[in-house]
Structure formats: C-alpha cells, structure tokens
Amino acid sequence: MANLNDQQLSFNTFGPIEENVTALAFDNNTIWVGGEDTYRAPARGISHYNLNTQEWKYFEAQNIIGLENPQIRTILTDSTTVWFGTHTGLMRYNKRANRWLTYRDTEYWGRVNALAKDQHILWIGSERGLALLDTRADSLDRVSGSERAIIYAMITGPNHIWAGTEAGLYACARGNRKWRAVSDEKNFTKRPIRALAMYDSMLYVATETPSSLLSYHIGQNTWQEYTLPEIGSSRRVSIAASNKHVWISTNQGAFLLNLTDRLWTRYHTTEGLIHGGVQAILAGQNHIWFGTAEGLSRFHWSRALLE
C-alpha cells in the first residue's frame, strides 16, 4: 500500500491481498477491498482494513466455504451484510454469523457491476440486465425486459434509485419496482453511462461518449457538463463527490474537479500514485483511497485541499 500524504509518498509492507484493486467500500471504521486476476496471478480473496487499529484481515477463497469467486466488481455494505458483485454473480458476507454465501442462481447473469439497496430490496445490475433480491424472503427476481441492458452503475438517492446503463440513465422511485428512462432537453441522459455518485441533492454521472462528467441538481432539475476525455478510454470509472470537489478515476490517473472554478487537476504516478490505472475511489473525512492496477494508494486530501 502506498501512502500519499501532502505529496509525500511512503510505502508500507502491508496491504490488500489483491494487487489489482477494483472495488472499495466503507463499513463503519473499516474498509472492504476487492480485486481481480492479473496476468501474474489469479485473484485469491477479499481484504478488510481496520482504520483505527490499521490491521488487515484476509478472506481467502480456497479456505472459506461460500466464497466462491474472489473477482470483485463492486461492494455494498449495510448494518448486517456485505454484498459483493463478482464476475459470476452475487455473493454476501453475514457479519454477525461470519458466514459467506454465493447465490448460484446468478451465475448466468454475467458480471455484476452495480448494487443498490432500498430498505429490504437489493437491486442488482449486471451485464445481462437488472434483478432484485428481497432480503427478507431471500428470493431473487429478474426485471422483465431488461435482459439486453448492460448496467454499469447504480446509486441510492433520497427519493430514487438511479441506474447508469449502456443506453442511458434510468430511475425508480424508492419503495417502487417500476423503472423509467430519464429524459432531458439536451439528451445528456441518453449517453452510455459508466459511473454514478450522489452528494446531497446532486447526482454525478460519468458518460462515455461524449466523455464528460455531468452534474444534475435534482431539486432544480438543472444540468452542468464538465468535459473529461479520459473517461471514454477507461475500462473502469469511479466517482467520489463532496460539496466543493469531485474525484473521478480513469486509466490515466485520478482527476479532481473544483466545482467553483470548473478546473480539473490530474493525479498520476508523478504525484505519488502507485499506478496510473485508477479503478476505484473512496472518499473519507481526511483521506482519499485509490484502488489501482498495482495496489492501494492513500492521499491526505483534507490538508492538500485546505483553502
């Protein structure tokens, strides 16, 4: 793991079990870290980092019943469960029982790229459409008509669940199960979407073609566009937003947008990132975590962005 603190880089002799970090998620005072195969080695398991004690815990697939696919696309946590979207479907970890389960019925859905929770309903976005899991009944259902949709991103907002797909932006009112295509005057929402993020009443959308970051003020129904060509050439895109800044990951580094002056700043290996291929971003109170193709980097951004 690389520690990027006020532009100073130091290397620690510990870190995630996977070199190729593809998914990150907070769970109270801990972070879950998932990865994928590299050309050097297959994926082995999932990592868990305690922010208070700075201790790592590793869950290796070869030693754990129920942890059947350690290639992780996305992670979502709640009070009792950690949900994992994998290359071959859905997997969960019950924190209280310390038990893993792979949903084998989802193996035919292709890669699960996105997860979103609405009370007891878990929405599942994959390469072959949309599905839901009723966590009370532990029952799975496919959303009819969505089978041809490639879903890349999902996010839970105050009133809606949002889904970013190859065919544009979709929304479902919370507590409902009916999805609708979102429309706007400039057809922003018809673009192929790679990533989504929410901050207060702002929805942030990364689009592939044209390659831009869009911001949508839900209450005012207004859109802003911030061009970023690097999005279009990236296999993975991730967004982390605050009130003044937006981070976005690309295969050419991490980019920071200042919403006030609309200027982008790029962070790459010359600034201390362990690798320029950034695949996941997680924003904490004092640090930004970057999952890259060759490890995990941490940046003390609250000091660096002190105005």
Tens of pLDDT, residue by residue over 95-119, are 999 999 999 998 888 899 999 999 9
Which CATH number is 194's domain given? 2.130.10.10
In which domain, by residue range, is 108 found? 19-243
Structural domain includes residue 78? yes
Model pTM?
Answer: 0.93
pLDDT confidence band for 166 (50 / 70 / 90): very high
pLDDT per position as a tens digit, 208-228:
999 999 999 999 999 999 999
Return all residues near 92 (Cβ < 8 A) that are at least 6 apart.
81, 82, 83, 84, 100, 101, 103
Structural domain includes residue 301? no
Structural domain includes residue 123? yes
Structural domain includes residue 199? yes
Structural domain includes residue 216? yes
Structural domain includes residue 102? yes
Structural domain includes residue 171? yes
Q: Work out how many domains the chain is built from and give that number.
A: 1
